Amino acid sequence: MLPIDEAFRKFKSRLELNDKEQQNAIARHTEVREYMDTKFKSRSFLTGSYKRHTKTKPLKDVDIFFVLDEPTRDYRAKAPSVVVDDFYNALVAKYGSKAVRKQDRSINIDFGVLVDTKDNTDYRILSIDAVPAVACGTDYEIPDIPLGKWIKTNPEIHATKAIAAHQAYSSEWKGLVRMVKYWNNNPKHGSDKPIKPSFLIEVMALQCLYGGFGGQFDREMQSLFSTLADRIFEDWPDPAGLGPPISNGMDQTRKERAKKLLTAAASEATVAIDHVRKGRNGEALKAWRDLFGPKFPLS
Ligand SMILES: Nc1ncnc2c1ncn2[C@@H]1O[C@H](COP(=O)(O)OP(=O)(O)OP(=O)(O)O)[C@@H](O)[C@H]1O
Ligand SMILES: [Mg+2]
């Protein structure tokens, strides 16, 4: 029988990027970047959770910043929708209107990859988010369509904070973040994820995981779900102190739902831990599988 801690280690490694996935991600982002180079004067780099290794599975929405050079930089003087429209039209010309979608701050390119019942994608990434950006000192500004303005961000600061948190947590912090993000994606919640945006999970984890890794994944997860439930109503500013609060992505109703689902996850975790204590390892594995989804191993 698979011991719980080993099950968690297997789960953790299943949520990590393997070589084949990395090769596919490189091929896809290189293709998009090379194409966009022919359309816009910009330099591009990978960012977001993909770059920070806090992305969960199935692997989708790999973020690429396209930092516009002169003269395309005068987009900055215009409404955010102008650059988003132009990026959209350029991408539609290559990938077709069925594959390309405008989002609040980026354009999503969907590669039409199918996800099987075990959340496998044959080592392929599902999609890329192309984010137009302009440099602003050492920070960047990106368009925000619903706000109707450009917002400041700094991916380097987010990355530095994630690295520091990871190191302070015996290099288990990123793995735990990926696990909660995987829980957030569990189809049992319906099409609406409990926590939105999922970056909020990472932002909350910067504060909710503290005091060092206790050594047992099941207990870490139980206490993390419980702390996230307790603190979901708080305001969560941008950790870099630049952009709008990350918690603005959820209204009161959404927060109430998130609290309910996080509290339920914490209780399910307590039950699973109790199963182990009473020697019912198989029951514990099933409880964790039900909580997280198909990538949590039963054997
Ligand atoms: N409100 C904000 N203010 C400033 N920067 C932000 C804000 N929201 C997101 N960002 C930055 O933009 C990046 C991409 O945002 P996104 O919503 O794709 O999150 P993510 O961390 O990549 O998570 P996911 O795994 O959901 O893709 C974030 O990683 C963060 O660096
Ligand atoms: Mg992202």
Domains of the chain, each with CATH number or no CATH: 4-13+157-292 (no CATH), 17-154 (3.30.460.90)
> What average pLDDT does range 52-65 have in this prediction?
97
Q: Give the pLDDT confidence score for residue 183 in this predicted structure.
A: 98
Q: Whose CA is nearest to atom 18 of ligand 1?
A: 48
Q: Give the pLDDT confidence score for residue 70 in this predicted structure.
A: 75
Q: Which residue has the tokens 């395309």?
A: 72
Flag whether pLDDT at 271 surpasses 70: yes
Q: Which residue has the tokens 């953790």?
A: 12
Dist. CA 222–CA 175, nearest whole Å:
15
Q: Give the pLDDT confidence score for residue 128 in this predicted structure.
A: 98
Q: Whose CA is nearest to atom 5 of ligand 1?
A: 153
Q: Rounded to whole angstroms, what are the CA distances from 275 to 7, 39, 269, 278, 286?
A: 15, 58, 10, 5, 10
Ligand of minimum distance to the alpha carbon of 146: 1
Task: Kindly state if the Cβ of 55 falls inside 6 Å of ligand 1.
Answer: yes
Q: Give the pLDDT confidence score for residue 165 in this predicted structure.
A: 98
Strand partners, 198: none
Task: Kindly state if the Cβ of 206 falls inside 6 Å of ligand 1.
Answer: no
Our measurement of the distance from residue 19's CA atom to the centroid of its chain's CA atoms, rounded to an integer in Å, reads: 20
Give the helix, strand, coil percentages of the chain, each rounded to 5: 50, 15, 35
What are φ and ψ of residue 213, in 5° steps?
-70, 130
pLDDT per residue as tens digits for the range 186-227: 999 998 999 999 999 999 999 999 999 999 999 999 999 999
Our measurement of the distance from residue 227's CA atom to the centroid of its chain's CA atoms, rounded to an integer in Å, reads: 19
Task: Compute, in angstroms, the gap from residue 129 CA to the centroid of ligand 2.
Answer: 7
Task: Kindly state if the Cβ of 197 falls inside 6 Å of ligand 1.
Answer: yes
pLDDT per residue as tens digits for the range 73-117: 789 999 999 999 999 999 999 999 999 999 999 999 999 999 999
Dist. CA 235–CA 125, nearest whole Å:
32
Task: Kindly state if the Cβ of 249 falls inside 6 Å of ligand 1.
Answer: no
Q: Give the pLDDT confidence score for residue 200 in this predicted structure.
A: 98
pLDDT per residue as tens digits for the range 1-52: 899 999 999 999 999 999 999 999 999 999 999 999 999 999 999 999 999 9
Flag whether pLDDT at 72 surpasses 90: no
The pair of structure tokens assigned to 112 is: 């039409």
Dist. CA 196–CA 83, nearest whole Å:
25
Dist. CA 182–CA 129, nearest whole Å:
19
Give the number of the atom of ligand 1 that is nearest the alpha carbon of residue 238: 3
> What average pLDDT does range 127-155 have in this prediction?
97
Q: What is the DSSP letter of 226?
A: H
Q: Give the pLDDT confidence score for residue 71 in this predicted structure.
A: 67
Per-residue b/e over 39-69, b at no fewer than 16 CB within 10 Å?
bbebebebbbbbbbbbbbbbbbbbbbbbbbe
Nearest-CA neighbor of 105 among 74, 84, 126, 127?
Answer: 84
Q: Whose CA is nearest to atom 12 of ligand 1?
A: 48
User: Mean pLDDT for the chain?
Assistant: 97
Strand partners, 43: 67
Q: What is the DSSP letter of 69?
A: P
Flag whether pLDDT at 129 surpasses 90: yes
- CB count within 10 Å of CB 13 equals 12
Q: Give the pLDDT confidence score for residue 39 in this predicted structure.
A: 95
Q: Give the pLDDT confidence score for residue 297 in this predicted structure.
A: 98
Q: Give the pLDDT confidence score for residue 73 in this predicted structure.
A: 72
Q: Give the pLDDT confidence score for residue 105 in this predicted structure.
A: 98
Task: Enumerate residues 6+ apart whose C-beta is below 8 A from 21.
Answer: 59, 123, 124, 125
Q: Whose CA is nearest to atom 3 of ligand 1?
A: 243
- Name the packing angle between helices 199-208 and 173-185 (round to 10°): 140
